[in-house]
Chain A
Amino acid sequence: MSEPIVSARDVTKLFGSKTALDGVSADVFPGDIIGVLGKNGAGKTTLLETLLGFSPPNRGSVAVFGEDALAMSAQTKARIGFLPQLDELFGMLNGKQHLAIVSAFHADWDRALVERLIAEWSVPLKQRIDSLSVGERQKLAVLSALGHRPDLLVLDEPVASLDPIARRQFLRQLFAIAENEDRAVLFSSHIVSDLERAANKVWIVKDGRLHWQGYLDTLKESVVRLHIRARSVLPRDLAVPNALATRVDGNTAIATVAQWQPSEADALAKRFDGSLDVESLGLEDIFLELHR
């Protein structure tokens, strides 16, 4: 397996008495498109910014391209593209001036790519940034993060203010980046359908912990909803292994379970003396079940 681009070990971050991150360990490998999912205040932004060295952890360490995230070299920083949750554009400049400043920091700024995206996304370059709509500002911010074709792209809520067309175009761009298997993308979003479409891995952040991390397909296979139909009335406490939630109604029951193994199906059906249907869940349902 190749070396991880980002490697976090036991990262804990406190804000006063509040624990924002609690012993997070995770890796980002080349080729990963990782969607970070979590409720508001779960710690997604803190996690992304701590991984990039913006915020020093109280415990643990982060390495980016093998270097300490708190002391990255210029070469390493040049390989990162970052889009913060709140854009940090110069309000008094126009888009063209803003891109001129950002591009000055990158020797390998891909002018052709940026110009193509400007045309595709209809970014108004001559207007002052102050007077742009939130979505237009976001497009400009995304361009600033993508223009140097970074090897690691970290995006905090990149599509929150984009219209559906721009969102599709943006996701297409993410796929294009991921085609190059040396690169990785880490992005948070509340739009689960986008995340499901773009990501190959998922991190679910809950109360400052990485509640689940791994391949999206594995997650989908792992968390399922069981529909149980027994011959007799079922007990209130079903005691299904790894159950996230159960609802019993007479001789039928619905249970959502994690770490599901298909081989367990026959044993369970036998135990309840009935039949068992396994329903696959979408990411949104899984997220809701994990947060019950």
Chain B
Amino acid sequence: MNAVLRVWWTFFTALPLQRWLGGTGAALCTLLAAGGFVSGTYELWIFGLLVLFILAVFPTLFASPAVFRALSAPRASQLLPRFRARMLGAVALLVATLLAIFVLFFVTSAAAANRALPLEPIGYAFAFATAMFLWMFVQFGDWRWVWLWLAAPAALGVLGLLAPESRALVAAVPAWAWPGAALLAWIGFAAWYVRARRIGPIRFNPQPRARAWASAELGGALPRDVALRMLVTARPPGREGWALALVGIVLGVNVAAMSVAAPFFSFTSSFWPFGTMLLLWGHATSIVHRSRLLWLRMPGPRDAVRREVERALLRNVRGAVLLIVAAAVIYASPLVGASPQQVLAGFLLSACAALFSTYLAFASIPGRALHLVGFGLMIALQFPLLAPPFTSPTNVTIVTVAELGGAIAFRMLALRRWRQIDWLRLRPLPQSNMFRGS
């Protein structure tokens, strides 16, 4: 098979669960499309494409940047003929495929509703796919880039506060500018990619700045429980107050919520649960993978390690909940003036997202396939149901229940899986190097 096609196919089939979901999605879509063709009902077509979108497109959109990075990183890859050009060709084909499925979905929906076909959403979809791919590519290099997700809207918010006229400017951005910007982003990325001396490997494991460790005095006798916590969290002692730092960022983000595009950043939009899930992803995964270090240091069977890991994960959740509480206070304050119901719904939405993300990481042993697909499916649920025009109490309830139900289900799965956890397959993740030398 042609190298470009082979890499393109790998984007869809790299992970076992991705293959299973994609195969199921394709089979269901074919069946529903055939049913639609026979019966002449558009709804079956649309539903089939929606199934394909959720089961095949979203997981691929989130997994493919990891595959792209993993294939690009080895030095030996650089010796393959026209390697990087072919990799870019495969990515272009991937985006074209994803876009083609979206266009098909969109055209069918428009035909079913018997309305004209606006082109803007296709441009937005292209911009969204571009942003997600590039952003995830950066994220897989180092999960600390998750801060970009929070910092960018915060910066926009500050701009909105300092220069209120900028809001009108943002609103006046023509629709074609988004795909145009996406195209420019691809050109920039391609230019960097073909010239970069080395593409870094996948690095999942965030860690505190070296400075934090330098100031930690570990020379003397260290209490066993502190050492245990440090082993599993890779954090210096006395640094658990990190949530306070997050609260500072929350303030910035909330400024953004108040000043620019308020509906998009409302407390019940997808922004908060998605952001919370992302915040917890890296560290929760890291804790689970570091559990190997506890095995010979904890008494008893695997349950003992599982309990310690779950404690560490819940400490992590506690930090995230503090952040959400801080956000809730700001939303409830006269600054935003959200209703108590909205604040409560927003709090539950994000808190349950934190639990979902945590227990998903907890259950994702030994592989990452479940993690990527579970995350992708939840996002596929959050984004359409919590997008500003469609946000409703019912949708918020559906997502909250799905998050909580998912968390409970993943915990039950984790309890079963941890009894047989195989640390030969679950080694500590590669270390993050974003702040190396700082």
User: What is the distance, in angstroms, from A108's C-beta to the closest C-beta of chain B?
Assistant: 13
Question: When the two chains form their complex, are residues B424 and A104 in contact, meaning their CB atoms are under 8 A apart?
Answer: no
Interface secondary structure of B, over-half rule: loop
* Interface-side segment among A48-56, A200-208, A257-265: A48-56
Check A104/B296 contact, CB under 8 A, given A71-B301, A97-B213: no
Check A97/B296 contact, CB under 8 A, given A54-B424, A55-B423, A92-B207: no
Residues of chain A lying within 8 A (CB to CB) of residue B226: 104
Q: Is A252 engaged at the interface, CB distance under 8 Å to the other chain?
A: no
Question: When the two chains form their complex, are residues A96 and B218 in contact, meaning their CB atoms are under 8 A apart?
Answer: yes
User: What is the distance, in angstroms, from B2's C-beta to the closest C-beta of chain A?
Assistant: 29
Question: When the two chains form their complex, are residues B234 and A90 in contact, meaning their CB atoms are under 8 A apart?
Answer: yes
Per the bound structure, the CA–CA distance linking A71 and B419 in Å amounts to 11
Q: Is B195 engaged at the interface, CB distance under 8 Å to the other chain?
A: no
Which residues of B, 206-250, contact A by the 8 Å Cβ criterion?
207-208, 210, 213, 216, 218-224, 226-228, 230-231, 234
Per the bound structure, the CA–CA distance linking A72 and B208 in Å amounts to 33
Q: Is B420 engaged at the interface, CB distance under 8 Å to the other chain?
A: yes
User: What is the distance, in angstroms, from A200's C-beta to the closest C-beta of chain B?
Assistant: 25
Per the bound structure, the CA–CA distance linking A105 and B218 in Å amounts to 14
Question: When the two chains form their complex, are residues A100 and B222 in contact, meaning their CB atoms are under 8 A apart?
Answer: yes
User: What is the distance, in angstroms, from A199's C-beta to the closest C-beta of chain B?
Assistant: 23
Which residues of A, 135-186, contact B by the 8 Å Cβ criterion?
none
Residues of chain B lying within 8 A (CB to CB) of residue A103: 222
User: What is the distance, in angstroms, from B430's C-beta to the closest C-beta of chain A?
Assistant: 9
Per the bound structure, the CA–CA distance linking A287 and B227 in Å amounts to 43
B222 contact from A54, A74, A104, A128, Cβ within 8 A? A104
Per the bound structure, the CA–CA distance linking A90 and B432 in Å amounts to 11
Q: Is B436 engaged at the interface, CB distance under 8 Å to the other chain?
A: yes
Residues of chain A lying within 8 A (CB to CB) of residue B295: 52-54
User: Can you name the residue of chain A whose Cβ is closest to the Cβ of B223?
Assistant: A104
Q: Is B306 engaged at the interface, CB distance under 8 Å to the other chain?
A: no
B218 contact from A75, A82, A101, Cβ within 8 A? A101
User: Can you name the residue of chain B whose Cβ is closest to the Cβ of A68?
Assistant: B301
Residues of chain B lying within 8 A (CB to CB) of residue A52: 295-296
Residues of chain B lying within 8 A (CB to CB) of residue A91: 207, 431
Per the bound structure, the CA–CA distance linking A104 and B237 in Å amounts to 14
Per the bound structure, the CA–CA distance linking A45 and B424 in Å amounts to 9
Q: Is B115 engaged at the interface, CB distance under 8 Å to the other chain?
A: no
Check A70/B207 contact, CB under 8 A, given A52-B296, A104-B226, A104-B227: no
Question: When the two chains form their complex, are residues A100 and B424 in contact, meaning their CB atoms are under 8 A apart?
Answer: no
| Contact indicator per residue, chain B 188-214, by CB within 8 Å of chain A (1) or not (0) | 000000000000000000011010010
Question: When the two chains form their complex, are residues B210 and A104 in contact, meaning their CB atoms are under 8 A apart?
Answer: no
Per the bound structure, the CA–CA distance linking A49 and B423 in Å amounts to 8
Question: When the two chains form their complex, are residues A74 and B299 in contact, meaning their CB atoms are under 8 A apart?
Answer: yes
Which residues of A, 69-103, contact B by the 8 Å Cβ criterion?
70-75, 77, 80, 82, 86, 88, 90-93, 96-97, 100-103
Residues of chain B lying within 8 A (CB to CB) of residue A102: 227
User: What is the distance, in angstroms, from B143's C-beta to the closest C-beta of chain A?
Assistant: 15
Question: When the two chains form their complex, are residues A105 and B207 in contact, meaning their CB atoms are under 8 A apart?
Answer: no
Q: Is A213 engaged at the interface, CB distance under 8 Å to the other chain?
A: no
Per the bound structure, the CA–CA distance linking A53 and B293 in Å amounts to 13
Q: Is B298 engaged at the interface, CB distance under 8 Å to the other chain?
A: yes
Residues of chain A lying within 8 A (CB to CB) of residue B427: 86, 88
| Contact indicator per residue, chain B 420-438, by CB within 8 Å of chain A (1) or not (0) | 1011110110010000100
Q: Is A266 engaged at the interface, CB distance under 8 Å to the other chain?
A: no
Question: When the two chains form their complex, are residues A128 and B210 in contact, meaning their CB atoms are under 8 A apart?
Answer: yes
User: What is the distance, in angstroms, from B218's C-beta to the closest C-beta of chain A?
Assistant: 4
Per the bound structure, the CA–CA distance linking A50 and B222 in Å amounts to 30
Question: When the two chains form their complex, are residues A92 and B218 in contact, meaning their CB atoms are under 8 A apart?
Answer: no
User: What is the distance, in angstroms, from B237's C-beta to the closest C-beta of chain A?
Assistant: 10
Check A97/B207 contact, CB under 8 A, given A56-B422, A90-B234, A104-B224: no
User: Can you name the residue of chain B whose Cβ is closest to the Cβ of A70?
Assistant: B301
Q: Is A3 engaged at the interface, CB distance under 8 Å to the other chain?
A: no
Question: When the two chains form their complex, are residues A56 and B420 in contact, meaning their CB atoms are under 8 A apart?
Answer: yes
Q: Is A46 engaged at the interface, CB distance under 8 Å to the other chain?
A: yes
Q: Is A279 engaged at the interface, CB distance under 8 Å to the other chain?
A: no
Per the bound structure, the CA–CA distance linking A103 and B423 in Å amounts to 23
User: What is the distance, in angstroms, from B112's C-beta to the closest C-beta of chain A?
Assistant: 44
Check A54/B423 contact, CB under 8 A, given A88-B292, A88-B293: yes
CB within 8 Å of A: which residues of B? 207-208, 210, 213, 216, 218-224, 226-228, 230-231, 234, 292-293, 295-302, 420, 422-425, 427-428, 431, 436
- Given A73-B300, A77-B297, A97-B218, 10 new contacts (CB under 8 A): A45-B424, A54-B295, A54-B423, A82-B296, A88-B293, A100-B219, A104-B221, A105-B224, A105-B297, A130-B436
**25 intermolecular pairs with C-beta atoms under 8 Å apart:** A46-B424, A49-B424, A52-B295, A53-B295, A54-B292, A54-B422, A54-B424, A55-B422, A55-B423, A55-B424, A72-B299, A77-B298, A77-B299, A80-B296, A88-B293, A88-B427, A91-B431, A92-B213, A96-B218, A97-B216, A101-B218, A101-B231, A102-B227, A104-B224, A128-B210
